[in-house]
Amino acid sequence: MDIVMSETASGGLRRVLNRIRQVMAKPATAQVRLNELVKVIAAEMVAEVCSVYVVRAGETLELFATQGLNPSAVHQTRLRVGEGLVGTVAATVAPLNLHDAQAHPKFVYRPETGEEIFHSFVGVPIIRGGRVRGVLVAQHRTHRHYDEEEVEALEMIATVLAELIAGGDLVDPGEQTPAQGNAILPVRLTGIKVNGGLATGEAVLHQPRITIRRLLAEDPEAEHRRLAEAVSEMHQQLDRIFAREEVAVGGDHRDVLDAYRMYAEDQGWLRRIGEAIDSGMTAEAAVQKEEDDMRARLGAVHDPYLRERLHDFEDLASRLLRHLAGEAFTAARADLPQDVILLAHMLGPAELLDYDPRRLRALVLEEGSPNAHVAIVARALNIPVVGQVEDLLARIDPRDPIVVDGDNAIVYVRAGEDIQQMAAETIAMRLQRRAHYAAMKDLPPVTRDGVRVSLKINAGLMMDLAALREYGADGVGLYRTEIPFMVRSEFPNVEVQTASYRNVIEAADGKPVRFRTLDVGGDKELPYFRNTGDANPALGWRAIRLSLDRPALLRRQVRALVRASRGGDLELMFPLVAETAEFNAARALVDLEVAREAKRGEAPVTVRVGVMMEVPGLAFQLRSLLPLVSFISIGSNDLFQFMYAADRANPRTAERYDTLSPGFLTFLKSLVEDCGRANVPLAVCGEMAGRPLEAMALIGLGLRELSMPPPSIGPVKTMVRSLAVDELAPYLAGLLDSPDHSLRETLKNYARDHAVTIEEP
C-alpha cells in the first residue's frame, strides 16, 4: 500500500479527499457511494484491498463494501466486536497495523472473502460521537508494515466515512443506539451520589448532536478564517458567562472556571484543528475529527485529571461547532420547562452555567464523579447530581417526568403517582423543616439538663460557609483544603493558597476554622502527582505520609495558612497520623514556618495544632501524644473502616458493620476518657456526627464537639435540645458490654421513649 505522497503528505491526502468529495456530491444511495468510495480509496492509496465494515445491532460488524475481496461476501461476512482483527480494532478503538496478519492470535479466517492470499493488514476505527461506527481496512499480499503517515491518512478518511454511516441510510438509525424497550414503562436508574438532595421536574436532553453537512472544503484559507472568527466568538461568550453574578465571586469553583478558560486557549488543540483544515476538511469536520481523536486517545484513561481534560475539551468542541454551524447552542437556548432535570453524557463547567439557575432542579450524568469539575460548580449552585447512570440518554425521552434522589443516587423515570406524590411531599417537608431550622439558628444547642454541645460544619467550598449564618453553627470543625489542589493542573503556589485561605477566614466572620492539611492520595489523586498504583489505596501513600515525603509541599501549605491567619488564630490538624513520631515530624515543619513568618511580623496570635484520629493504632500512643497536641478530632469514616477492616467503598462490606456497634462505641468511650484526663478537647468530624441518632450516642459517651455537613446542623440541634444527658449517659454505659451486632434499634427505642427528636437530614 504505497500511498502516493510525491507533493507532500498533506497534498497527497488532500487529493484523496477531493476525490472522495466528488463521490459524495453525486446523486446516489449511500450504498452506491460506499461501493464507489472503497474503489477510490484503493486506487488512490494503491491498496490491493479496501473494505468497510459497519457496526449493526447486537455488536456485530458486517462487511458493507469491498474492493479486492470476493464481492459475494458483502453483507454476508459478519464478526462480533472483539472477534478477529476487524473486531479487535472496534473493541480497542485503536488502529491495528500488521505485516503478517495471519500470524496474529486474533486472526479469524472467513473462506467466503478470499482473503487468505493477503498478508499485511491495517485497520482503523470509524468513530463518530465517541462511538465506533465501523472499521476501515486495507490489505496487501506482501509482508509489509504501514508507516505512520499511511495510518493517519486512513484515520482522516475514516472521519468522512463516519458521517456517511451515521446518516442513517446504510443502517437504520434504531440500530445505532441501544434498545430503549417500552418507552411508556416506569424506569428506576441507579448511579453514584455526586451531590445530595431531592428534586422533581421534566427531562431536558442537554445537547442534540450537530449534523455536519459539508465535510470537505475547496478553500482552506476561507475555512481558517471561519475558524478564527468562531474561536473569537466563543472566547467572548465565555467571558460573559464567567462574569455572571452567581459565579463571579471567588471560591473553589473559580479555579475550575479559570482552568477551563486556559483549555479554551490551548494552542495545541487549535493547531491540530488547523492541520485537519490544511488536509482539505471544513472547519466543522476538523473540529469534529479532533474531538473524536481526543475521545479515542483518552476515553479509556482512568486518570481523573485526564478524564476531566477530556470532558472540558468535549465541551469546548461542542461550543465551537455551534458557533461554526450557527445553530442553537444547547437546550439552554430552547424553551425550557419551569422545572428542569438536565440529562447529559457529561458536561463542562461552563455548559452548566448556560442554564437558568431559577429553573435548574437537578443534573443526571452518564459519567461524572464527586470530584468532577462540573460537580464542584453544581455544589456552588446547590443542585442534586447523580453520576455514572448507565445508558441514561438511551432510556429517557425529552419531557419525561423525573424524580432525582441525589442522597441515594436513584433516578425515577416516568414514575408512578405514588412516587411522584411522595417526592413532592418530601420536598415540601424539607422546605418546611429548612425554614424551621433557619428560625432556630440563634437558639443555643443546649440539652434539657443544661449541657452545651458545640455544633460546627465540615466545609470544602466557599459556598458551604454560608451555613454558618443560615444555621447558626459555631464554626468550621473541618475545612478540607484539597479541593483547590485537585482542580488545578499544577501545584498552587503560596500566594494563591494564601488568598484562598484568607477568603475562608473572612467568610467565617470571626468564627473558628479548623484547617486539615492536604489529604490526598488513595482515591483522591492530584493531576500533577504520579499515580502510585497502590493495591490498597486507603492504606497506601496518602495524607500525612505523602506530605512528610514531600516536605516542601507541606511547608508551602503551612506557610500560606500562617500568612492567611496573620494577627488572628490558626487551627490546623494532620490527617491519618499513625504514630506520635509522624505528628512530631509534621509539627516541626509548622514550627519552622511560624518562626519564619514571625520574623516578618506576619504570624498568627495563637497556633493550635492537632491530629485526626483515624488510625486505631494511634490510640495506643495517646500517653506520648496527648501532651503534644492542642486537640484531637475523630475522623469516624476512616477510623470505622480500619477498626473493622471493612472497605467503606465496597458495597459488600460498607453496610456489614454498624457505627453503633458496642465495640466501636466502647473504643470511642476510651478516647473520651483518655482525652478528658489529659484535658485535651476531643471532637468528631466524620459522617457519624451529622446523623442525629449517632450524634445522640456520641453525646452520651461524653463528646461535646461535633462537626458535620451543613444540612445536618438543624436536625442535630433539634435532637440536642430535646435530650437529657444525665439520663442517657448511664443507660448507654450499661449497653457497651453487650454482645449484640448493633445498638441501633435499642437507641431508637430509647429516643422514642424519652421524647428525643430524631429527624434525618
Residue 259 pLDDT class (50, 70, 90 cuts): low
Does 373 participate in catalysis according to the annotation?
A: yes
Mean pLDDT score, 59-68: 92
- The fold adopted by the segment(s) 189-419 is Glucose Oxidase; domain 1 (3.50.30)
When pLDDT is cut at 50, 70 and 90, the band that residue 308 belongs to is low
Q: Output 185 or 296, whichever has higher pLDDT.
A: 296
Residue 179: is its pLDDT beyond 50?
A: no
Answer with the residue of higher pLDDT: 311 or 699.
699
Q: Could you tell me the fold of the domain covering 441-446+638-684+686-761?
A: TIM Barrel (3.20.20)
- Whether 184 has a pLDDT exceeding 60, the answer reads no
Q: Which of 119, 685, 741, 754 is catalytic?
A: 685
Give the CATH fold of the 9-171 domain: Beta-Lactamase (3.30.450)
- pLDDT above 90 (res 321): no
Specify which residues 452 forms β-bridges with: 446
Averaged pLDDT of the chain: 83
| Three-state secondary structure call for residue 188 | strand
pLDDT at 467: 82
* Cα radius of gyration (the chain): 31
- As given in the structure block, the three cell numbers for residue 175 are 440500530
CA distances 449 to 725, 726, 727, Å, are 7, 7, 9
3-state secondary structure 535-579: CCHHHCCEHHHHHHHCHHHHHHHHHHHHHHCCCCEEEEEECCCCC
pTM of the model: 0.59
Q: In this predicted structure, what is the pLDDT of residue 178?
A: 44
Domain 475-635, classified CATH 3.40.50.10860, yes or no:
no
Given 373, 436, 675, 741, the catalytic residue: 373
Query: What is residue 364's DSSP assignment?
Result: E
- The more confidently predicted of residues 602 and 185 is 602
Contact 288, 344 (CB under 8 A): no
**In terms of DSSP bridges, do strands 187-190 and 192-195 run parallel, antiparallel, or are they unpaired?**
unpaired
When mean pLDDT is compared across 204-213, 301-310, 337-346, 498-507, the lowest value belongs to 301-310
pLDDT at 7: 40
Residue 99 burial by CB count (10 A; 0-12/13-18/19+): exposed, middle or buried? middle
Asked if residue 117 lies in contact with residue 250, where contact means CB atoms within 8 angstroms, the answer is no
Residue 714 confidence (pLDDT) above 60: yes
Better-predicted residue by pLDDT, 319 or 85: 85
For the cut 50, the answer to whether the pLDDT of residue 653 exceeds it is yes
Average pLDDT over residues 581-607: 91
Catalytic residue list contains 685: yes
How confident is the model over 559-582, as a mean pLDDT?
Answer: 94
Instruction: Give the range among 453-462, 567-576, 652-661 with minimum mean pLDDT.
Output: 652-661
C-alpha distances out from residue 201 to 270, 406, 411, Å:
39, 14, 11
**Pick from 625, 619, 629: nearest CA to 672:** 619
Rounded to 5, what percent of the chain is helix, strand, coil?
Answer: 50, 15, 35
What the block records as the C-alpha cell of 517 is 492539611
pLDDT of 627 above 70: yes
Residue 747 CB partners (closer than 8 Å, separation 6+): 660, 693, 696, 697, 732
pLDDT band for 441, please (50, 70, 90 cuts).
confident
Give the pLDDT confidence score for residue 182 in this predicted structure.
Answer: 35
Q: What pLDDT is recorded for position 582?
A: 95
Question: Phi/psi at 609 (nearest 5 deg)?
Answer: -120, 130
**3-class state of residue 301 by DSSP:** coil
Confidence of residue 226 (pLDDT cuts 50, 70, 90): confident
In this predicted structure, what is the pLDDT of residue 570? 95
Cell, residue 419: 412516587
Name residue 459's beta-bridge partners. 479
CA 117-123-125 angle, to 5 degrees, is 150
pLDDT band (50, 70, 90) for residue 453: very high
DSSP 265: T
Query: Quick check: 223 pLDDT over 80?
Result: yes
- Do the first three CATH levels of 189-419 and 475-635 match, i.e. the same topology? no
Domain residue spans of the chain: 9-171, 189-419, 441-446+638-684+686-761, 475-635
Inform me whether the pLDDT recorded for 29 exceeds 80: yes
Instruction: Using CB atoms within 10 Å of the CB of residue 689, give its burial: 0 to 12 exposed, 13 to 18 middle, 19+ buried.
Output: buried
pLDDT one-digit tens code per residue, 108-162: 888 899 888 888 999 999 987 567 889 999 999 888 878 888 888 888 888 888 8
- DSSP β-bridge partners for residue 411: 189, 404
Q: Give the C-alpha separation, 315 to 346, whole Å.
A: 9
Least-confidence region, from 195-204, 216-225, 498-507, 658-667: 216-225
- The answer to whether residue 4 scores a pLDDT higher than 60 is no
